[in-house]
Amino acid sequence: MTVVIWSDGHLLTPEEPALSAVDHGITVGDGVFETCAVYGGQAFALTRHLRRLARSAAGIGLVAPEEQLVRDAVAQVLAAAPDSGRLRITVTGGPAPLGSMRGDGPLSLLVAAGPASPSSVSRAVRLPWVRNERSAVAGLKTTSYAENVVGYAYASERGGDEGLMANTVGALCEGTASNVFVEIGGELLTPHLETGCLAGITRELMLEWAREEGLPAREAGIDELPFGVLDEVTLAGGGTIGGVTGERGVSLALAGSIRNVAPVVSLDGKDVVPGPLVVAAQKLFGRRLAEGIDP
């Protein structure tokens, strides 16, 4: 299946031009985006994604396009590509000078849909780089994604499908394209937004649905999940990933729009064991996802 693109009111193929060579999204990464899973020709949780798109745009000083324009573009793309698994909405600063200064013309809006290959499990690798929780764009979903690309490549070269990062003060933060949940001490914890992690839509829904159904899941305090907690993840053959005592039975799940909630079955190339809360969270999310397309 090919990718279908909407730009400036027209449907395009990947071979047709969609942006100017001096678009600020290309020259300096000045833009924001959202990725939605697509089920049965409809974008999942589109309202939440559009809300976050507007927050990210405001965070970098852009005004998001009118919501109805985006919804109409999404509808056109998915009508042309109903079997898609992934939808991406991108807003950039539009044509601008060859530098950091923005132009005074209209923003660029692109909507694209194409295939996705989700997996029900994840294989994670710890990255040697950190997320800067004090960055001007911390917590925003921007198109300035080079460090994520480098991190993903590092993990992929080591047999992983996701890389995990600390922040500058050594707290567990997030993956290159996912949020992290840690099963520890009888709870399922996810790093607080103060760590600099993205306010993920899947993360948000998982916390809401867990609260409604009595699954013990919550945001962790800023000091509750140091990056070193990954040393305590339980190996499949016994013991822990870092050789520590491991009395707390630590396990992991990753959350994202395409992977949904996926237990981590490998960390740094070693097989690890998903805990009962991680497994329960995956089942709960899958069941609630099936109940409605725009929760």
pLDDT of residue 273: 96
Tell me which CATH code domain 122-290 carries: 3.20.10.10
d(CA 273, CA 279): 10
Which residue would you say has higher pLDDT here, 79 or 247? Answer: 79
pLDDT 10s digits, 240-270:
999 887 777 899 999 999 999 999 999 999 9
| Averaged pLDDT, 262-281 | 98
- The class level of CATH for 4-114 reads alpha beta
Q: DSSP for the chain?
A: ---EEEETTEEE-TTS--S-TTBHHHHT--EEEEEEEEETTEETTHHHHHHHHHHHHHHTT-PPPPHHHHHHHHHHHHHH-TT-SEEEEEEE--B--SSSS--SSPPEEEEEEE-----SSEEEEEEEEEE-TTSTTTT--BS--HHHHHHHHHHHHTT-SEEEEEETTSBEEEESS-EEEEEETTEEEEE-GGGT----HHHHHHHHHHHHHT--EEEEPTTT-BGGGGGGBBBTTSSBTTSS--TT-BEEEEEETTTEEEEEEEETTEEB---HHHHHHHHHHHHHHTT-S--
Domain boundaries, the chain: 4-114, 122-290
pLDDT of residue 263: 98
How much of the chain exceeds pLDDT 90, in percent? 93
| Averaged pLDDT, 72-87 | 97
d(CA 164, CA 173): 8
pLDDT 10s digits, 99-148:
999 999 899 999 999 999 999 999 999 999 999 999 999 999 999 999 99
User: pLDDT band at residue 70, thresholds of 50, 70 and 90?
Assistant: very high
pLDDT 10s digits, 159-205:
999 999 999 999 999 999 999 999 999 999 999 999 999 999 999 99
pLDDT of residue 1: 65
- Predicted model pTM: 0.96
Query: Please, what is the average pLDDT of the chain?
Result: 96
